[in-house]
Structure 1
Amino acid sequence: MRAKLRTSITSKRFWGWAAAAVLYFGAAAAAAEFTWDRAIDALAEAGEHRLDLYAASLKSELNRFETTPSIVARQDSVRALLAAPHAPPESLHAVNAYLEAVNRDTGSLATYVIDREGSVIAASNWNQARSFIGTNVSYRPYFKDALASGTGRFFGIGTNTGMPGLYFASAVRDAGAATGAVAVKISVDALESAWRMPDEAAMVVDGNGVIVISTVPGWKFTSMRPITAQRQRAIEASQQYAGRAVDPLPYRRVDEWSRTAWLGRFPDWRAPGRGAEYLVVSRPLPEAGDSLMVLQGIAGAYRQEHLAVAFVTGAFLIAALYGLYAGQRRRTIAEKLKSQDALRRANDQLELTVAQRTAALTAANERMQREILERESTEQRLRDSQQEVVHAGKLAVLGQMAAGLTHEINQPLVAIRTLCDNARTFFERDQPAQAISNLARIARLVESMAVLTSELKAFARKPDVERVAVSLGEVVAHARLMYETRIRDEAVRLDVNIPPGTMVCAESSQLQQVIVNLLGNALDAIRDAEQRIIRIEAAPSDRHPGRVLFTIEDSGSGIAPEVLAHLFEPFVTTKPRGQGLGLGLAITSRILEGLGAKIQGANREDGGARFSIEFAAATSLRAEHGR
C-alpha cells in the first residue's frame, strides 16, 4: 500500500513539473515574440521618420542646382558662343569667367557648355589641369536627354577627375532648335556627412541597383541586385561608373517584415570582417528607379527580447521557490504533528508509570506541562509577530511609492497651472500664438508625468541614461518658467549668471527635474525670510578642468547641523509636517549619480544654504565621441 502511495505521489510530482515546464516555455516564447514585434515595429516607425527627413534634405539639396543649367542657358553670351563656335578669344574668356563665377557662387563641382556634337567648349575649370574643355560627352545620357527633351539628369563618375557626382543639364535653344547644352556637376559628399548617424546607415540606390550615395564609404558603388547583360552594356556605353567594376554587396535577406521594411544581414561597417543584422526601411524616390534606404541596428530589439525572457524566467523561478517552500512547510508541519502525537502517547504512558510516584515527581511533571504550553504560546506569538513585520514592510513600501509620486507630480502640476494662467492672459490679449505655445508646453508636461513613477525605481538603482550636450541656461529658464507665478507673488529676486553657450553632459528631462527640485527647495527656504534672494551661477571648475561648477544659493535660514550630515538620505527633511517627506534631495542625488555628476550641500557664511553640482562639460562628451 505504501509503495503504491509513493508511486502515485512521484507520478503527480513528475506531471506537475512537466506542466510547469511547458507553461514556462510557452510564456517565454510568447513574451519574446511580443517584445520582438513591438521593438521592430518601433524601429520601422523611426525608420519611416528618418526617410521623411532624408528625402526632404535630398530634395532641398537637388533643388538648389536643378535650375542652374537653364539659367545659364539663357545667357546671351553662352548662346552666342554656341551659335559661333569660332568666336574671338575674348568672347570665350568672358564665358569661361562667367561659368567660373556661377560655379563659385552655387558651390557646384563644375559648370560647362557643350556644343551639339557633345564637345565641351567652355567650362568653369578652364584654367585647371583637369579642365573639361575639349572633352566629348556625347555618350552621356544627361547630354542626350537635354537635346531630346530639354533637360537631363544623371549620376556617374567623372571620366576626367574620377570623382562621383550628380549631373544636371539643360538645352540651349536658338530659334526653337537646340544648339547645345549647359551642364552642372554637383557633389553629394555634404549629404552623406549630414546623414551619417551612429548605429545607422542611409543610402540611395539608382535604377541599376547600384548604391550611389552611402554613409558607409565601403558600400558605395556596390550593387544591391544582379546587373543583367543588357544593363551592363548600357552602363559601359554611358561610362556611368568610369569603367569601375561594380561588385555585389554581400548581404542576405533574413525576413520580410512589412511592405516597406525587411530584416537583412549586412557587413558590419564598425567591425570589418564581421556581419550584423539590420532592419531595412526603403522608399522609392520620384526619380525613375531610384530608392532611398535606411538601415537600423536591431541589437536593442534583441536586448529587449532577452529581458522579456529573463523577466518570465525570474517570475517562474520565484513561483518555483515558493512552491518548494510551501512543500517543505507542509512536510515540517506533518513531522511536527507526528512528533506531537508521539509525545502525547509517551506522556500518557508516563502518567500511568508515575501515578504511584511521589508528589514531588507529580509537581515536576506539572511544571514540565506548563513549560510546554508556554513554549507553544511563545511560538504562536512569534509567528504572529513575524506576520505583522511582513505586513508593516509592505505598508512601508506602499507609503514610499505614494509619497514619491505625490512629491514628484506636484511640480509639473504647478507648472501646468502657471502655463494655463499665462495662456488665458494671452487669449485675453488676443495673442493666440503665445497661448498655443503654452498649451504645447502643457502637453509635454502631461506626457512627462506619465514617466514620473520611474523616479522611485531610479532612487533604488542607478539608471542608464544617454548623456548628450544640454544647454544649462535653457534648463534654468525652463525651471524659472515653472515657478514664475510664485517668484512674482512672493517678491523673490532671482539672479541668474550663466554664460551663454554653457553646455554640460546630461539627459535633458532628468537635468530639468534636478534644477526644478533645487529651485523649489530654495523658494521654500526663503518663504519667511526678510530678504528673498536666490542666486544661480555656472562657471568652469577651477579644481577639475573639463567640468562645469553649478551653484544655487538662497538667503534663508540655512540647514541645521544635525540634518546636514544626512541631507541626501530618504525621508530627511527640515520642512514642517505635511509640507514634505524628504524624498526630493534623495531623488535628485540619484539622478545626478546617473548623469556622472555629484551634488554637495553646505551653509553660507553670511546665512542661507548653497548647493553645488559639478557636471562634465559638453567638450568632454565630444572628445569621448571623437575617440
Structure 2
Amino acid sequence: MSLNAAHTIGERSRFNPQWLWLAAIACAVMVAIGTLGGTYFTRIYFNEAEARGQNTLRLAVAALRGQMARFERLPQLLADYDDIKLLVANPDDPDLVDEMNHYLKEVNELLESSDLYVMMPDGNTIVASNFDTDTSFVGGNFSYRPYFSNALAGGEGRFFALGTTSLKRGYYFGAPVWIDGVVEAVVVLKVDVDAIEDTWRGGDYEIIVTDPEGIIFMTGQPDWLFSGILPLTEERLARTAETRRYADAELRDLPVTRTHFQDHHELMEVEMQTGETREYLMLTEPMPEADWTVKVLLDTASARAQAVTTIVVLLLVVGLATMAAAIYLQRQARLRERMQMQHEARDQLERRVKERTAELATVNKQLEAEVAERRATEAALRQTQNDLVQAGKLAALGQMSAALSHEFNQPLAAARNYADNALVLIERGRVPEASNNVSRITALIDRMASISRHLRNFARKPNQKLAIVNLEDVVNDTLEIVDWHIRSSRVALEIDLGPKPIFIHCGPVRLQQVLVNILTNAVDTVAEQADRRVTLTASSDGDTVTIAVRDHGPGVPATLAERIFDPFFTTKGVGKGLGLGLSISYNIVKDFGGDLHVENHAEGGAIFTMTLRAAAIPQTFESLAEPAQ
C-alpha cells in the first residue's frame, strides 16, 4: 500500500463521527463531575469527619465531667470535718492553724489536687495546703471569686479561673462550713486541668474549651490560650475583669472567620501565627454544669483533599473508559479496513521486493569492487612497507661501507705480510714457522668471511613468519655487525641477558635489524660524551620479555619524544641518516605484537624499551643443556 493510501485510510479513521460523539459525551460527563462532584463529595467527607468529631467531642466532655465528678463532693466532705469547724471557731489558735495546714497538705497530696484552703466570711484565707511555699494562699483575700460568694450564700461554688497568686489555671469547688445553721467559712478545692489538656495534643483535631464570654482557657494549641473566638467587646472584658478570671493575663481576639457549608456544617477559618490560614469543621457541646462550651475543630484539608482525589479518580475512570471505547472503535475500523489494506500491501510488497533486490544487487557489486580495491591497496601498502624496511637496511649498510673497508683492509694487509714471511721462511727451510703464518692467514680469512656472511644475512629480505628465537643468538649476530662501530667509537658496551636463556616469538633477522638501529643510535649519541657507556639488558616476566638499551648521553628532549618514531625524522646532521631507522624498528616491534617506547632515565641518558611475547624453551635446547648441568 502506498503512503498516500495509508494516509487517506488513517484520516478516515481519525475523523470517524462515532469518535466525535464519544468525545462529546466524555467531556459532558467530566464537566458534570467537576462542577457537581466537588460539592457532593465534600459534603460526604465532611459528614464522615463530623461523625468522627462527635465521638471525639463526647470523649472530651466525658473526660471533663469525670474529672469534675471526682472532686466535686470532696470540699463538702472537708467542710463537715470537726477539726475544720473547730479551726473556724478558733482562727487565732496557732497550734490549731499549724495542725490544719499540715492536714490540708496531706489530703491535697493524697487527692492529687492542686490546692486546698479555708476562707473566712471576709474572704481572708486562714489555712492552705501550700502554706509552706512561695505562693502560699495564707493571708490572701479572694472574696471577688464567684466560687466564694456562691458558697458563702449556702450554695455550691464552682468557677474556672487563672490563679491570681499561683498564675496556674484550675477549676475551683467551694463548699460552705455550717456551724449552728450559719455559714462561718468556705472550704475551697482547686483542680489542675493540665493533665487533661495534655491528652489533646498530637491528634488530627483541636479541642478547645471556652467560658461564657467566648475566651479559650483550655486548648491543645498554646498560641490560642486566653484568645477570644467571639469579639472581645467592652462588656465582655468588664465581666471578665470583675471576677479577675484570668488575673493579669493578656486577652486578645483570635483572628477567625466563621462560615457554613450548605447551611449544615459550621466552619471556622483561623489565621495561624505562621501566616497560613487553616479551615476547621467545628462541633460544639455545652457543659451547663460548669458554664463551659467544649468545641472540637477538625482540619478540613484532609476531607477536601479526599474529595479532590475522588473527583480526580472519577475523571481518570471516565478518561480510561473513553480510551477503552476509542480503542474498541478503532479496532472495529481497522478490521473493516484490513481486507483492503492487505490487497494493496501485497502489491506494494511485491513491487518493493523487486526494487530492493535490484538495489541490493547494485550495492553488492559496489561492495565487491571496494573490497577488491581495498585488498589491492593493502597488498601494495604491505609491499611498500617491506621495501621501506629493506631500503632502510641498505641505507644503513651504505653508511657502514666506509668503516667496513678499514675492517677488511687490516686483515688483508696482515695476510699479505704473513704470506711474504711464509715464503722467506720456506726458502730458509723453516717450515714449522711458515706453517704457523699460513694458519694465521686462514684465521684472518675466516674472520672476514664471518663479517661478510652477517652483512649478507642482514641485507637479505627476512621471512615474515614468526618463530621461537633465542635472544642470545640474535644479540651475538647483532654484535658481529656493530662491533666495528663500537670499537671505532671507543664505546663500552655492557650486556646483561640474565642467568637463563630467553626465547621470543619474533623474526630473528628483523629483530636483529631493530637492535642494530637502536645500538647504532646509542653509540652515536655517546661517541662525543665523557661517559661512553651503553647498556643492553633483557629480563623475562611471565609471558613478557623486556629488552632495554640505555645510553649515557644528553637524553631525548620532551618536544622530540612524541616525534622520534615518525618516518624521516632525525636529529643527526645532513648525510648521516634518513630518519627511517626508528620508524622501521617501531613498526617491526608492532608486527611482533610488542611495543617500543623511549624515555629519559632518572640518572641521565635515554632508554629504549622493547616488550615482546615470551616463548617456551624448546625441548631440543633443554636436552642439550642437561649434560652441562
Q: TM-score, normalised by structure 2?
A: 0.49
Larger radius of gyration: 2
Q: TM-score, normalised by structure 1?
A: 0.49
